[in-house]
A and B are shown apart, each in its own frame.
Chain A
């Protein structure tokens, strides 16, 4: 009886840990274990199937001398940088405009936000028509009488990466707007009233008081956007197919192509590890501030 009692007490005490245990196991195996596994594979000469013959940094050497990889990582810098900056600017701007006691705010918000609900495959398919010179915007503007108007970025290997930016901004800026709008609604209105009584103008109030309190939202938006940029795989697949040639490839497409269709598993693993490295460079400062914030 007493034993049984002790057993049920023990069970009750460790219930939280028991509930967490499966998730703990999953995280350790399917995130950290798999990362180590991929790192290990990147040091082997695995092709179609894994072969545990270690070749040191050969795959990384191959990667760094690979023109397609160079193009795709350069594209990521251009695409990611522009995508994040433009989304933040549009998102903040529209959040501020929408926060001026607008009639039909709900309707407008729904319109700005709906692209976020759509998959990148659908976005890519839609923008593929709009950006196609012989069907989309170029053709429409020429029909309006501007015969020389040219907008052929989609088939221009120098400019195609900006097509990715246009479609991705269209899809994600509404979400950034929603994040900032939620943040603006949380700003203490007493503080704003006090500043108004002191004679501060609205632009000053935004710059000096409101935007600084939104720093955490800035940070979340930045991290979410860079995450979207790095994993953009489906947008490229649907919008450009990586073309012309491989001029619009991103690292995610490089990794998929080499690991799953071109039987270069070692090289694919190495490119995956490099992508993780890129994410870590952004993520570590974020996690650091997150954990420090918790302690305060």
Chain B
């Protein structure tokens, strides 16, 4: 009895094995074909991605290459040609002596103007956004959600609908054409975004975190300082990068609200490119454009991955 059982078992076993073998063969052949197809798809995938990368890089490359040529070489040659005799002369001129409208001091002074506006505006709007977001997520009260809705709306209004009253208000406050006026404008209209970022991030934190602290008698600011702020770096990075690029790149508020001695670099660049006396110096224009773009590009190259990480950590989820 036991023997037959064993026999049948082994017979079954070998049968299974041979069956398994032929399946394996088929599977192997199938897998081989598949891996060839997959290999080809992979190559296609990489070529599409590289092609797109080239398109995104092209304008930057053209600008860099031509900023290193002299005007004659640009006129007579191709935009895509490598510079024969690379020189930084155009960069020096763009920085220190090119004409931007009425003055001929290059874009250096405007570069500094932009920093003087951007740094305080980013700092103030970020702090304000963090505090607002903290209240709107952890200390809700009757009406706070309504306020959040009202504020959210502020992210999306076209600024054209507030420009005229803002210009008048700044005039009355004596801040027209001043750097502080421009900082104020950036803080006011940046606040909606910073609040949105912080609020959506804090909403994702467990509320037990602060209810325990509340029971222990910790106050509003102590909880913020000791518990919430140490958890905030990812969203602070997102907010600071966002605000820095928004305000550095702003043109509308700059052109409407700033005066001759605090024009931001975007307005100066536009003046430089459109200044029409003398021959057109394309190399200087390109160098100036690159200089104006440099701070935000540097921020993105070094901190871009934190930006994307922060976005996935919650800034988009609620938005």
Contact = CB atoms under 8 A, between A and B. Distances in A.
A66 to B, nearest CB: 16
Interface string B21-51: 0000000000000000000000001101100
Contact of B297 (A112, A118, A234, A290): A118
A133 interface: no
B158 A230 contact: yes
B237 interface: no
B162 A34 contact: yes
Interface in A173-200: 174, 178-179, 181-183, 185-186
Contact of B144 (A20, A38, A230): A20
A233 B168 CA distance: 21
A125 B269 contact: yes
B109 interface: no
Contact of B79 (A136, A220, A283, A287): A136
A251 B290 CA distance: 29
Determine the main DSSP class of B at the interface with A: helix
Interface in B277-319: 282, 285-286, 289-290, 292-293, 296-297, 299-301, 304-305, 307-308, 311-312, 316-317, 319
A69 interface: no
A63 interface: no
Interface residues of B, number: 91
Nearest to A278: B158
Nearest to A40: B165
A275 B45 CA distance: 41
Contacts of A273: 161
A20 B48 contact: no
A116 interface: yes
Contacts of B100: none
A106 interface: yes
Contacts of A19: 131-132, 135, 220
Given A31-B154, A260-B256, A122 B164 contact: no
Contact of B160 (A41, A123, A185, A256): A256
B153 A287 contact: yes
A275 B56 contact: no
A53 to B, nearest CB: 16
Interface stretch (B4-12, B57-65, B226-234): B57-65
8 contacts: A31-B162, A94-B49, A97-B45, A108-B49, A109-B304, A140-B79, A227-B155, A275-B161
Interface of A: 12, 15-17, 19-20, 23-24, 26-28, 30-35, 37-38, 41, 50, 94, 97-98, 100, 102, 106, 108-123, 125-130, 135-136, 139-140, 143, 170, 174, 178-179, 181-183, 185-186, 216-217, 220, 223, 227, 230-231, 233-234, 237-238, 241, 251-252, 255-256, 259-260, 265, 268-269, 271-273, 275-276, 278-279, 283, 287, 290-291, 294
**Which 8 A-B residue pairs are closest in the complex by CB-CB distance?**
A119-B249, A16-B139, A234-B251, A182-B312, A117-B300, A34-B162, A34-B165, A272-B160
Interface of B: 45-46, 48-49, 52-53, 55-60, 62-63, 66, 74, 78-80, 128, 131-132, 135-136, 139, 141, 144-145, 147, 149-168, 188-189, 191-192, 195, 219-221, 245, 248-252, 255-256, 266, 269-270, 273-274, 282, 285-286, 289-290, 292-293, 296-297, 299-301, 304-305, 307-308, 311-312, 316-317, 319
Given A23-B132, A294-B145, 8 more contacts: A41-B164, A118-B296, A121-B289, A122-B289, A122-B293, A130-B62, A241-B274, A268-B164
